[in-house]
A = this chain, B = another copy of it.
Amino acid sequence: MIVVMKPHAPQNCVDQVIQVIEGHGLISHLSVGDEVTIIGVVGDKSKLADCNLELFDGVEKIVSVTESYKLANKKFHANPSTIKVGNTEIGGKKLAMIAGPCAIESRDQMLKTAQAIKGAGATILRGGAYKPRTSPYSFQGLEEEGLRYMAEAREETGLPIVCEVTSLEAVEVAAKYVNLFQIGARNMQNFYLLKEVGKTNIPVILKRGLAATVDEWLNAAEYIMSEGNKNVILCERGIRTFETSTRNTLDISAVPVVKAKSHLPIIVDPSHAAGVRHYIAPLAKAAIAAGADGLMIEVHHDPARALSDGPQSLKPSKFEALCNELRPLSKLMGRDL
C-alpha cells in the first residue's frame, strides 16, 4: 500500500500518517519528491482496516499494490486447478462442453436434448430450473420438477448436470440432484448466496456480472472458496457496454487475464454474449483459440418455441456441426473435445 501525499503537504501531516502506520505495527518508507511525497506501507494492511488514511489531512490518495483475494490468486497457487465434475472434469486437457436448454420446460424436452447433445460431443448437460427473468411476467422455471427431469436425463446419458441456483432454498433442493451449481451473472455479488454454495462441496460455475471487473469477479470466487469450497469455475458471458448489435460484449481478453491472475479454470458462454445464434460459432472458436477451458452453449430442440432465450439457442444438429468444427481447433490448442 502506498500513501500519496498532496503536493507540499506540511510535515506534520506526513508525520501523522507515519505515526498511524507505525502505531498499527506496520513499517513506513518515506520518499520525498520535489512536488510529491509518498509513503510506502510494509506489512499486513488489514491491520489498517479501521483507519481510512485517505481522510487524513494532507493525503491525496491511497494506491493498493496487492490483490484482496488470496485463495483464488495465482501468486499463491501457481498451477492451474482442475475441477472434478461427476465423471468428467473442467480445467484439464479435455475441453468442457456444457450444453442444453436455457430453461427446463418438460421431461420430453430434457431427454431428447440430452440424447442429442451427448452424441454431438457435450460433456455436461445444462438446464435452468430457477430462472432469473427481467420481467416477473416471463416464465420463471419448473423448480424441483425440472431438476427431476434433468436427473433422469443424466441416468439415460451419463452426462453430469448443472443448474443455476438463485436462493438458499434452491441450493438445498438442487444439492440433491446436480453435479455442479451455477451462479448467474445477476447474482455474482449476491454474497449471501456465494457463502451458501461455499459451504457445500459441489463445484460451482461463477458467471461474471454484467458490470463486474475481473478483480471483483475473483473476489466473488474468494467468497465461495473462503467458506471451504475450492471448486470454482469462472464463466465469461459478456459484459454490458454501449454496443447493441450483440446482447452483451464478450470480453475475450478475460480469458488470458484470468489465466494470468488466477489458477481457476475459465469457460466461455458465447450464447449469452451474442444473444443471436448466428454469432455463436465465431465466438466459440475465438474462446477456444484464446485458451478457454470450455464452453457453455444453449441448445434447444425447437428454438422458435423455447420459453427462454430462443433467439440465441442452437438446434441439436447445429450444435453437432459446431462441435465438429471445433474439434480440430481444440486439437491445435492442445485440447481434446
Binding site for B on A (CB under 8 A): 2, 4, 7, 29-36, 38, 40-43, 46, 49-56, 60, 63, 65-66, 68-69, 75, 130, 132-139, 166-170, 186-187, 189-193, 195, 209-211, 213-216, 219, 222-223, 226, 239-246, 249-257, 260-261, 273-274, 277-279, 282-283, 285-291, 303-307, 310-311, 328-329, 332
Whether B190 and A166, one on each chain, are in contact in the complex, defined by CB atoms closer than 8 angstroms, is yes
A56 to B302, CA, bound (A): 11
Q: Is the CB of A136 within 8 A of B226?
A: yes
Chain B: minimal CB distance from A280 (Å):
9
Flag if B139 contacts A49 (CB, 8 Å). Answer: yes
> Nearest Cβ in chain B — how far from A222, in angstroms?
5
- Among B52, B211, B277, contact of A240 (Cβ-Cβ < 8 Å): B211
Q: Are A222 and B135 in contact (CB under 8 A)?
A: yes
Across the interface, which residues of B come within 8 angstroms of A130, CB to CB? 192
- In the complex formed, the residue of B with least CB distance to A211 is B211
Closest to A249 in B: B251
| A306 surroundings in chain B (CB, below 8 A) | 50, 52
* Residue in B36, B245, B329 whose CB lies within 8 Å of A289: B329
Which one of B52, B168, B278, B282 lies within 8 Å of A291 (CB-CB)?
B282
Residue of B nearest to A281 (CB): B256
Establish whether residues B245 and A257, one from each chain, have CB atoms under 8 Å apart when the complex forms: yes
